[in-house]
Amino acid sequence: MELTGAQIFVESLKKLKVDTLFGYPGGAVLHIYDALHFAEKDGSIRHILVRHEQGAVHMADGYARATGKPGYVLLTSGPGATNGVTGIATAYMDSIPMVIITGQVPTHLIGNDAFQEADVVGITRPCTKHNFLVKDVRDLARVMAEAQYIATSGRPGPVLVDIPKDVTAHKTAFAWPDRVDIPSYRPSTEGHLKQVKKALSLILGAKRPVLYLGGGCIWSNAAAEVTGLARRLGIPVTQTLMGLGSFPMSDPLSLDMLGMHGTYRANLAMSNCDVLVAIGARFDDRVTGKLDEFCVGAKKIHVDIDPASISKNVEVDVPIVGDARKVVQKMLDNLPPEPDLAKYRRSLAPWHAQIAEWERQHPLFYQDWTPGSPGEVIKPQWAIQEIHRKTKARSPVVTTDVGQHQMWAAQYFQFDRPFRWVTSGGLGTMGFGLPAAIGAQFARPKDLVLAIVGDASVQMCIQELIVASEHKLPIKVFIINNIYLGMVRQWQEMFYDDRYTAVHIPLQPDWVKLADAMGAAGFRVEQKSKLPGVIDEALSTTKPCLVDIRVDPKESVFPMIPAGGSIANPIVADEALKVHVKDDPNSASLS
């Protein structure tokens, strides 16, 4: 029996076990939407109609980051596809598995500047792992199988499939491939045993080792293995922004996040280590700072599934190409007996003592009061700690936008499990948090999903709140509202002599009324004493919620390493301020 290209597309989704498709229809994909009509009726595929294509891609992204499964998006040609490009680039920078299907004008019109035509394959080539233009309906099933395989294998990433409208109308027999075999694409996953033993030899000879974990540990499901390795060796662990959750931040070995807004102890440990073990991390500029001064005295081991990432930014001594989970398992299998490991752990005591001293000198802290205020000012760090305190027992999925609130969430919301932290790290996309939370809630309907966002960034995709209401998703959106583009204000304050330009946004929507207009529950809180009650009320509401938290507008994120600065010299909060904190009974600190 022959099927149309549109029907083949739908049957392919079923073969790939795709249960949720985020999208927005248009002329070039009408045949596909007609075929989806029957798939939705029989309950095999759920289509989520978004309000803007960027929101669709971010939702699919959030779905993927909360589950480890690929997200799927369907967009029409021309502006439908180009509206999704920011979302695609966001996923590409963070190595998120996703398949984006775009409609295209009929094959005979390609290159004619036809209505709603755009060269989507050309536009997305720099921001996709791979892309396809399907010109023959007989190739469609194979391409769909290959798209998912490429998106989810090796280093994950978004793959785009562009389908001209006439291809979706043509007919052929549906032939699903038994297996995917792409001769030019065969990721190396095992890791060479000789290199693994060489790495272990370096580690066991080290006096000041550090484990540096990145997002690759999340995507290879290596959390249990890297945690086991760290604990058996007794090595301190730091995580990148994208790696949070791959090692429990509550563990005594955790140094928390490193890099531009990482902890003082994490960055000093990196600068002074003698063996650095990077697993699933890519040595990006926000971690390394000034390259000439990055871990200059350390031997470097790098485990990564992408050979192009190894020695790309930092030359390493022991490269190991392979899947993080498999390589670390090999390390565990080749460790010496426990008595020798115990002796090794004892030998690291001076190193742990030094790290503890750095923590004592400059802990992660903030002044939880404002001079001259009546004590009711809400500090953003405290608000996030309070949200964490009230929700940690439910191990929520937390999404963010980009800016100060993102860094405070990374610092103060302690993540102990993978696939709970959803943020745009590489591209730094404002507007990501709300739609990503919606995607995560579709993926995890029984889990608590929180979006911690900024008052400026949330406005970029606020239209998607109505999607949450339409589907009765109980997401909780906490706006850390400082009426500024906070991170830009902080940089203008620190590096441009307080010349604030285009960062103050005092006129804002009435967030309570806006929430109500979109079918959600709205709250506003300006006094510290009332925040705990408002959080409780929002958490007990079954509707999606928008909570407007008015925080200290001039708070800054510390520690901080300026762009291009050395990680050996973080800017920390004023020492005098620290004295006040110690003296003030209402102060808070977090180690």
554/367 Cα distance (integer angstroms): 12
Give residue 573's pLDDT. Answer: 77
Q: Are strands 364-366 and 588-590 parallel, antiparallel or unpaired?
A: antiparallel
Give residue 564's pLDDT. Answer: 87
Burial 176-212 (b: 16+ CB within 10 A, else e): eeeeeeeeeeeeebebeeebbeebbebbbebebbbbb
279/527 Cα distance (integer angstroms): 43
- R_g over Cα of the chain: 25
Query: C-alpha angle with apex 508: 506 to 512, nearest 5 degrees?
Result: 135
Is 578 considered catalytic here? no
Give, for all 591 residues of the chain, the pLDDT tens digit.
899 999 999 999 999 999 999 999 999 999 999 999 999 999 999 999 999 999 999 999 999 999 999 999 999 999 999 999 999 999 999 999 999 999 999 999 999 999 999 999 999 999 999 999 999 999 999 999 999 999 999 999 999 999 999 999 999 999 999 999 999 999 999 999 999 999 999 999 999 999 999 999 999 999 999 999 999 999 999 999 999 999 999 999 999 999 999 999 999 999 999 999 999 999 999 999 999 999 999 999 999 999 999 999 999 999 999 999 999 999 999 999 999 999 999 999 999 999 999 999 999 989 877 666 667 899 999 999 999 999 999 999 999 999 999 999 999 999 999 999 999 999 999 999 999 999 999 999 999 999 999 999 999 999 999 999 999 999 999 999 999 999 999 999 999 999 999 999 999 999 999 999 999 999 999 999 999 999 999 999 999 999 999 999 999 999 999 988 999 999 997 653 544 444 443 443 332
**Do 264 and 561 form a contact (C-beta atoms < 8 A)?**
no
> What predicted TM-score, i.e. pTM, was given to this entire model?
0.95
107/503 Cα distance (integer angstroms): 47
Is 460 considered catalytic here? no
Is 430 considered catalytic here? no
Max Cα–Cα distance, the chain, nearest Å = 79
Which entry of 115, 315, 495, 554 is annotated as an active-site residue? 115
Which entry of 14, 69, 116, 390 is annotated as an active-site residue? 116
Give residue 558's pLDDT. Answer: 95
Q: And the tokens for 406?
A: 């993102």
Give residue 588's pLDDT. Answer: 39
For the purposes of burial, counting CB atoms within 10 Å of the CB of 565, is it exposed (0-12), middle (13-18) or buried (19 or more)?
Answer: middle
Which entry of 487, 492, 518, 528 is annotated as an active-site residue? 487
Is 53 considered catalytic here? yes
Which entry of 129, 165, 528, 543 is annotated as an active-site residue? 165
Which entry of 53, 117, 146, 386 is annotated as an active-site residue? 53
Q: Is the dihedral of CA 416, 422, 426, 431 positive or negative?
A: negative
> 3-class secondary structure for 8-58?
HHHHHHHHCCCCEEEECCCHHHHHHHHHHHHHHHCCCCEEEECCCHHHHHH
Give residue 82's pLDDT. Answer: 98
Is 198 considered catalytic here? no
232/536 Cα distance (integer angstroms): 40
Cα distances (Å, whole numbers) of residue 222 to 67, 190, 415? 14, 13, 15
